[in-house]
A and B are shown apart, each in its own frame.
Chain A
Amino acid sequence: MLRKNPTLRHVLGRAGWYFVTFLVAVAVNFFLPRLGDANPIDAIMARGGAMDSVSAREKEDAYLREFGLAQTDSNGKVVRSADGKPVKTGLASQFVNYVEMSLSGDLGTSILQYPKPVMDIILDAIPWTICLQLPTIILGWLFGNLLGALAAYKRGVFDRVLYPLALLASAIPAFCVGILLVYGLGIKHQWFPAVGGYDPSTTPELSGAFLSSAAYHYVMPFLSIFLIVVGGQSIGMRSMVIYELGTDYVKYAKLLGMKESKILLYTFRNAMLPQLTGLALAIGAMVGGALITEIIFSYPGLGMAILTAIQGNDYPVITGCTLLLSITVLVANFSVDVLLGLLDPRIRAAQAAEAN
């Protein structure tokens, strides 16, 4: 069946590769935090107060069990040596414990907001991040590509004004655009609220007051990400279309007397494919820039969750968020890969040739 269906072959092949990448991402999330000198359990206990109190000992036991850091007896109690120190388990069994917990959706318990599960913190934050990032990146990508294609096709004044602007927009770090917007439109002119995701006098629910305040707070973070995406994508598209316009098939079409709009459609379609790969790569890079954008606008998404966690050495939340971000980027890349396989006949042909 696979032999006859190159598209399915492509999808399955990519799925296998992404699964391997996923395993590496999990390993990275486990081993990197353990390379350094900071010890999360000590950090928790330092916050917890006196060591010899019964409740402190219970809390320590809970964490040791959760991270699989200490050996436990058949009753699930932490085994302690004569001086009261827990008996440590090996790194390998810690890793197995971590993978088992992650696969079952248990990311541990927050240290700062004990005993709130990390998963709950992430679930609170993630709708904000998705609603802000996904439409913004896709709209910015579409608009940037249109603008870039137009600049390449028209050249002249339009191009000479647009190109340096786009170059500047893509070179300005994400946080600088955010800071400028907050300062210019939020503080100086007070056109839009400078910080937050909604008016603090409303609560997140399906009411008109909340939704309109959320939409009002949406404008500036949206603009900040949108401008950068448009800048970066239009530059890439411009050079792609310039290249396509010089190819033989365009010259031939012109000699045939084909309509300009039709030629433009063909070049646009061909230049789009590499841009789609660019979108996948850009999503990875955007994760960083967009986190900072959220922090600047104090937007209640994952960026703020990570910032709060870093400031409070809340290790389970940090690794939970980074794991989730890795998975998101993986899924985005996988979707673009599959889409490319459906759109680009060359990829299908290569897969079909491999099968024979």
Chain B
Amino acid sequence: MELVKGLFKIPSFLFGLALFLGTLGLAFFGPLLWHIDVVSRVGDPYMAPGAGHWLGTDHLGVDMVSMLITGLRASLYVGFLAGVVATVVGTLIGVYGGYKGGLLDDILTVATNLFLVIPTLIVLILLSSSMEKGRSLTLIALIIGCTTWTWSARAVRAQSASLRARDHVALARINGYSTIEIVLEQILPYLLSYVFMVFILQTATAILTEATISMLGLGPYDSISLGKILNDARTNEALIGGKWWAFIPAMVLVTVIAFSLYVINTAMEGVFNPRLRK
């Protein structure tokens, strides 16, 4: 608790948190404040920003503010879902493997080492290009989560292995606690701040990854995401035509989300990792 209180005194943490809550607020309350319509053509294609449409229109003449809020919601959804999958699966396997060792731990080590060398993006390209019809936003999030969990498992495993030799863990073992009980009650609580940091990073990475594969033309078929807005802008020559409102706002949103999450993570690392404290 002391540490958490200390966290709220760090300017960079507060700055990152404010930025992130800002984007979250835009995603939740945007639809209440702004009339969202991503279907009708309300003006000419690539209409410049003006009084009625603050950020102009896209290549079809759809209101850009509506597109951005919808895209932001989709990107945050992908980030959280993929982040939760990658963190939960990775943490459970990592904590267990680090404490127990044995076959599961060996398999985990081999799998994580494999996926550190075979780029995640390649797996994503191959999987998404083979699933043309069912490539929904949820499926993309799940694919991202399932290809990045090895990274969290590896990070958590190292921490869990270092806790194995602690006295309270040995005491629990002598008292006949089962492995599951020890892992969940004696080890996991000590790693919570760490797991939370892993979750933050995984969320940021997932949002960037979604944007990247959407830019490759492998975006979701059932939804607008920030990456898809950028891809539409590129394929419809907004970039060459200098229609900045079609891509700069979407780009700023992606960057703000990722940047705020990185800042929060760095600030937390400074507090929870005593080695980095000055």
Contacts and interface: CB of A to CB of B under 8 A. Distances in A.
Interface of A: 17-18, 21, 24-25, 28-29, 32-38, 167-168, 170-176, 179-180, 182-183, 187-188, 194-195, 239, 242-243, 281, 284-285, 287-289, 291-292, 295-296, 306-307, 310-311, 313, 315, 318-319, 322, 325-326, 329-330, 333
- The residue in B117, B215, B258 that gathers the most chain A C-beta atoms within 10 A of its C-beta is B117
Contacts of A179: 230, 239, 247, 251
B244 to A, nearest CB: 6
Contacts of A25: 117-118
Given A167-B263, A167-B266, A38 B131 contact: yes
Contacts of A28: 118, 122-123, 126
Contacts, number: 147
Interface in B247-265: 247-248, 251, 254-255, 258-259, 262-263
10 contacts: A32-B127, A36-B127, A167-B259, A171-B258, A171-B263, A173-B212, A183-B247, A292-B215, A307-B216, A322-B122
Nearest to A325: B122
- Residue from A194, A195, A239, A315 with most neighbouring chain B CB atoms (10 Å): A239
Contact of B116 (A18, A281, A313): A281
B119 A171 contact: no
A270 to B, nearest CB: 16
A39 B6 CA distance: 57
Contact of A33 (B114, B116, B118, B129): B129
B1 interface: no
Contact of A285 (B119, B204, B218, B234): B119
B262 A167 contact: yes
Contacts of A187: 239-240, 242
Contacts of B188: none
A315 B128 CA distance: 12
Given A171-B204, A173-B254, A187-B239, 4 more contacts: A28-B123, A29-B126, A35-B130, A173-B208
B4 interface: no
A319 B248 CA distance: 33
Interface of B: 113-114, 116-123, 125-127, 129-134, 204, 208-209, 211-212, 215-218, 230, 234, 239-240, 242, 244, 247-248, 251, 254-255, 258-259, 262-263, 266, 275-276
A310 B118 contact: no
Contacts of A281: 116
B119 A329 contact: yes
Contacts of A24: 114, 118
Contacts of B263: 167, 171
A124 B276 CA distance: 48
B143 to A, nearest CB: 10
Contacts of A167: 259, 262-263, 266
A152 B234 CA distance: 40
B255 A291 contact: no
Contacts of A330: 117
Contact of B132 (A37, A284, A285): A37
Nearest to A43: B132
B167 to A, nearest CB: 27
B240 A38 contact: no
B240 A34 contact: no
Contact of B262 (A17, A171, A242): A171
Nearest to A333: B117
A239 B266 CA distance: 11
B114 to A, nearest CB: 6
A171 B259 contact: yes
A21 B127 contact: no
A187 B115 CA distance: 39
A22 to B, nearest CB: 9
A326 B126 CA distance: 12
B130 to A, nearest CB: 3
A11 to B, nearest CB: 17
A297 B121 CA distance: 20
B208 A318 contact: no
Contacts of A242: 276
B240 A325 contact: no
A326 B118 contact: yes
Contact of B118 (A195, A315, A329): A329
B259 A310 contact: no
A10 to B, nearest CB: 16
B212 to A, nearest CB: 6
B71 to A, nearest CB: 14
B212 A292 contact: yes
A326 B259 contact: no
B129 A318 contact: yes
Contacts of A21: 113-114, 117-118
Given A35-B130, A239-B276, A306-B125, A289 B212 contact: yes
B126 A33 contact: yes
